[in-house]
């Protein structure tokens, strides 16, 4: 398979589109946690109970189309190879927990890969919707529609006082986790983000790096999400998140302007060095890849680089993960082999731009 | 203690897992926890250890005045539907089923307050079907109050009408509930 073809199949169709503020907001996500009223939650349920959930998804939702979500496909985890599961994790369509730990797990995915419904994860049902750029309202409205559609066939565990009942007390109430993935290179470079994170936490929101370990944000990619799910309406939760994201977008734009004005040649030098590394290296590990991709994307956004497509950052962040590398290689690779393979994939990908 | 997955790094995360009702101890290093999916790199990761670790201590302290010694009654609490005890819940940090919420309800509000910025009551979407039930239940309550009022006023003609109204709403309610639970 050619690289072009591989990328076309590997990158979710919605990721190729641009959304509002997509120079900074890479994607918006809504997740709703729901459970069957009658059945124990997956962590404790019997195999037969969980199979009942799987069977319902198979008979009621497999190969159905709901509104503009075409040809939903239901897959059982037990029918997938480890590398196939890994790829779904790297596309954020399923969680590592569903891939490796769930008993009787499954996932319902729309053709656009914008909707994925995880089945028998920590909760029986986790509906996820992705939108490119900053589109939380739209994502929530459509998540509600899918929720209603599922509710036609399923009695959800719901309590008048506690709302939607979930396995973990951190999700009870709305079961909503709204999150936004942001590229904040200028706030990270000027260390401003470190001072902003505590203030954002005060508002009941969580800021964290999405790639890499602990609090480190590899590739200057941050995820901001709500923590509180009980006692506030979904719309209020989203409004809070939106106002913080809006502020961060403004601050990042301002920091970028200042950086360009004040750094003379240093910023431009840094960006073109990173571009050179991506274009020329023969061995590259994932952390350096992320740093260079972040620089190049910043270079595109501030106008130093104009011959590379904007989606390069999100696209290559996904494609250079271990699962994808091995799928493209068609075999399992040692960490050293991966670094070599990663470098050659990036070089080939940049040649496609020419 | 070494990590049970890689046998290289020291285990830094220790927790109990419940699979089909049986418990196993898990001791892993941070890296394996992430790689093997014990801790997802999805947003749930932040919460469990940071958020819940201090939480249950707080709860038992406030109840007994002594750290980490749940009172006798706490130990006995057990969900009839799924079999999870309150003690297990505090260890795992997860409920076993929707009924657990009712069984442990007396102890949960301090936990919810800590996790959800002081909130204990849902204020958001309501399922359509259950939603109409809630509206109907409220209606029945209101009508019953009205009925009492009319009876004390000895307005029996009006009272009879209200009584019929209550019956019809309750009939709807029962039909709704009968229809539920099938799928
Ligand atoms: Zn380990
Ligand atoms: Zn229970």
Give the residue-averaged pLDDT of A145-156. Answer: 94
Which residue is closest to A93 within chain B, CA to CA? B42
Q: What is the DSSP letter of A77?
A: G
Q: With an 8 Å Cβ cutoff, are A43 and B19 in contact?
A: yes
| Pairing, β B22-28 against β B13-19 | antiparallel
Q: With an 8 Å Cβ cutoff, are B82 and A37 in contact?
A: no
Q: Each residue of A223-267: pLDDT tens digit?
A: 999 999 999 999 999 999 999 999 999 999 999 999 999 988 999
Residues 122-141 of chain A with CB under 8 A from chain B are 122
**pLDDT top residue among A257 and B49:** A257
pLDDT cut 70: percent of chain B above it? 63
Q: With an 8 Å Cβ cutoff, are B101 and A223 in contact?
A: no
Which residue is closest to A36 within chain B, CA to CA? B98
Confidence of residue B69 (pLDDT cuts 50, 70, 90): very low
The distance of B7 to chain A (nearest Cα, Å) reads: 19
- Does the CB of A13 have a partner CB in chain B at under 8 Å? no
Mean of the per-residue pLDDT values of chain A: 93
- Alpha carbon of A113 to those of A37, A220, A272: distances in Å? 28, 25, 34
- Does residue B178 carry a pLDDT above 50? no
User: Within a 10 A sphere around the Cβ of A198, how many other Cβ atoms?
Assistant: 9
Nearest one of B107, B117, B16 to B64, comparing CA atoms: B107
The distance of A20 to chain B (nearest Cα, Å) reads: 23
Q: Each residue of A44-91: pLDDT tens digit?
A: 999 999 999 999 999 999 988 888 887 899 999 999 999 899 989 989
Confidence of residue B20 (pLDDT cuts 50, 70, 90): low
- Does the CB of A100 have a partner CB in chain B at under 8 Å? yes
Q: Each residue of A202-228: pLDDT tens digit?
A: 888 999 887 765 557 889 999 999 999
Give the residue-averaged pLDDT of A106-113. Answer: 94
Cβ atoms B126, A196 nearer than 8 A: no
Give the residue-averaged pLDDT of B22-27. Answer: 71
Cross-chain CB nearest to A43 (options B96, B119, B126): B96
The distance of A276 to chain B (nearest Cα, Å) reads: 31
Helix axes A234-262, A286-302, angle to 10 degrees: 80
Q: With an 8 Å Cβ cutoff, are A170 and B180 in contact?
A: no
The CA distance from B34 to B28, in Å, is 10
Cross-chain CB nearest to A163 (options B20, B118, B122): B122
- Alpha carbon of B78 to those of A155, B81, B103: distances in Å? 24, 9, 7
> What pLDDT was estimated at residue B183?
37
Cβ atoms A61, A76 nearer than 8 A: no
Lowest-confidence pick of A169-173, A287-291, B37-41, B81-85:
B37-41
Cβ atoms A119, A99 nearer than 8 A: no
> What pLDDT was estimated at residue A133?
96
Rounded (5°) CA angle A34-A30-A248: 145
Tell me, in angstroms, the distance from the centre of ligand 2 to residue A331's CA: 44
- Does residue A337 carry a pLDDT above 90? yes
The CA distance from A86 to A147, in Å, is 27
- Does residue B61 carry a pLDDT above 50? no
Confidence of residue A155 (pLDDT cuts 50, 70, 90): very high
Lowest-confidence pick of A37-46, A147-156, B32-41, B65-74:
B65-74
Q: With an 8 Å Cβ cutoff, are A40 and B180 in contact?
A: no
Instruction: Please give the model's pTM, rounded to 2 decimal places.
Output: 0.78
Count of A-B CB contacts under 8 Å: 181
Test mutation, A86, A231, A323, chain B, max B CBs within 10 A: A231
Which residue is closest to B39 within chain A, CA to CA? A97
Test mutation, A230, A239, A241, A335, chain B, max B CBs within 10 A: A230
> What pLDDT was estimated at residue B180?
40
C-alpha neighbours within 13 Å on the C-beta side of residue A297? 27
Q: How many separate helices (H) and strands (E) can be counted in chain A?
A: 13, 10
| Chain A residue numbers touching B84 (CB-CB < 8 A) | 44
Find the ligand nearest to B21 CA: 2
**pLDDT top residue among A321 and B176:** A321
């Amino acid at each position: 398979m050619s690289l072009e073809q591989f990328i076309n199949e590997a990158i979710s169709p919605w990721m190729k589109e641009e959304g509002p503020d997509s120079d900074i907001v890479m994607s918006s996500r809504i997740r709703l946690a729901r459970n069957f009223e009658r059945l124990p939650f997956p962590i404790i349920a019997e195999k037969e109970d969980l199979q009942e959930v799987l069977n319902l998804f198979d008979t009621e939702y497999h190969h159905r189309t709901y509104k503009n979500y075409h040809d939903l496909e239901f897959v059982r985890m037990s029918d997938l190879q480890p590398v196939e599961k890994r790829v779904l994790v790297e596309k954020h369509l399923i969680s590592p927990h569903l891939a490796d730990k769930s008993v009787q797990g499954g996932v319902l995915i729309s053709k656009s890969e914008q909707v994925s419904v995880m089945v028998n994860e920590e909760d029986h049902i986790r509906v996820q919707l992705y939108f490119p750029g900053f589109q939380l309202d739209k994502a929530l409205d459509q998540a509600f529609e899918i929720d209603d559609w599922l509710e036609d066939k399923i009695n959800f565990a719901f309590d008048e006082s506690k709302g939607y009942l979930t396995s973990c007390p951190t999700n009870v109430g709305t079961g909503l986790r709204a999150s936004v993935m942001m590229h904040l290179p200028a706030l990270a470079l000027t260390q401003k983000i470190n001072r902003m994170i505590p203030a954002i936490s005060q508002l009941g929101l969580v800021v964290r790096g999405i790639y890499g370990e602990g609090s480190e944000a590899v590739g200057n990619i941050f995820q901001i999400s709500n923590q509180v799910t009980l006692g506030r309406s979904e719309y209020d939760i989203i409004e809070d998140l939106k106002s913080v994201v809006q502020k961060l977008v403004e601050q990042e734009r301002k920091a970028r302007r200042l950086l360009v004005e004040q750094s003379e040649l240093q910023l431009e030098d840094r960006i073109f060095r990173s571009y050179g590394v991506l274009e020329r290296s023969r061995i590259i590990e994932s952390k350096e890849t992320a740093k260079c991709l972040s620089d190049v994307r910043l270079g595109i956004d501030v106008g130093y680089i104009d011959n590379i497509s904007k989606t390069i950052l999100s696209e290559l962040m996904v494609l250079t993960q271990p699962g994808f590398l091995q799928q493209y290689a068609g075999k399992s690779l040692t960490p050293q082999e991966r670094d070599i393979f990663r470098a050659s994939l990036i070089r080939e990908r940049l040649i496609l731009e020419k | 203690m070494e990590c049970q997955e890689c046998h290289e790094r020291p285990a830094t995360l220790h927790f109990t897992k419940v699979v089909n009702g049986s418990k196993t101890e898990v001791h892993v290093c941070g890296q394996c926890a992430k790689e093997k999916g014990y801790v997802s790199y999805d947003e749930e990761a932040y919460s469990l250890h940071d958020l819940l670790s201090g939480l249950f201590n707080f709860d038992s302290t406030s109840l007994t005045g002594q750290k980490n010694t749940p009172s006798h009654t706490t130990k006995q609490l057990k969900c009839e539907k799924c079999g999870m005890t309150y003690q297990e819940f505090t260890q795992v940090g997860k409920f076993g089923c929707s009924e657990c919420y009712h069984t442990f309800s007396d102890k949960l509000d301090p936990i919810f307050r800590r996790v959800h910025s002081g909130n204990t009551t849902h204020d958001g979407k309501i399922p359509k079907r259950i939603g109409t039930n809630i509206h109907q239940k409220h209606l029945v309550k209101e009508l019953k109050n009205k009925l009492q009022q009319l009876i004390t006023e000895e307005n029996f003609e009006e009272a009879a009408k209200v009584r019929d109204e209550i019956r019809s709403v309750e009939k709807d309610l029962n039909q709704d509930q009968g229809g539920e639970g099938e799928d």
